[in-house]
Amino acid sequence: MNTNYFLNCVAGNVFGTKTDPAIPTTYYIGLSTTTPNTNGSGVDEPSTDAGYARVQLTTLSEPLDGVVTNSQAINFNESTASWGTITHFVIYDSPTVDSGNLLMYGELSTPRSVETAT
């Protein structure tokens, strides 16, 4: 799902009616234990104190029929404390948790409980 922020950013840049902010050139994937909203709210990422960090997406394909795919595994840091039950992925334009703009999100096909790595 795309957020309203991202849709407005893309439309404004494509049609030249609002080019600031520019379309992001770097994207970061994160995790959420809650369902995000199209207005960019509702994201609850795990704590950085528990070893969590967003991961830069560097192996995205060219679009095919409007779909971009990731060609390699995405590896998050090992958890140093529980991250809770992850239900969604989130895509941001910033690597820093609690900053940047939520651009896209989606529900995991199977929620994952992330406990302390041993």
pLDDT by position in tens, the chain (length 118): 999 999 999 999 999 999 999 999 999 999 999 999 999 999 999 999 999 999 999 999 999 999 999 989 999 999 999 999 999 999 999 999 999 999 999 999 999 999 998 7
Q: Taking the chain, what is the end-to-end CA distance rounded to the nearest angstrom?
A: 34
- What pLDDT score does 117 carry? 81
Helix (H) or strand (E) run with residue 8 in it: helix 4-15
In degrees and rounded to multiples of 5, residue 50 shows phi and psi of: -100, 15
106-113: long-range pairs with CB below 8 Å, 24+: 106/1, 107/35, 111/85, 111/86, 111/87, 112/85, 112/86, 113/84, 113/85, 113/86
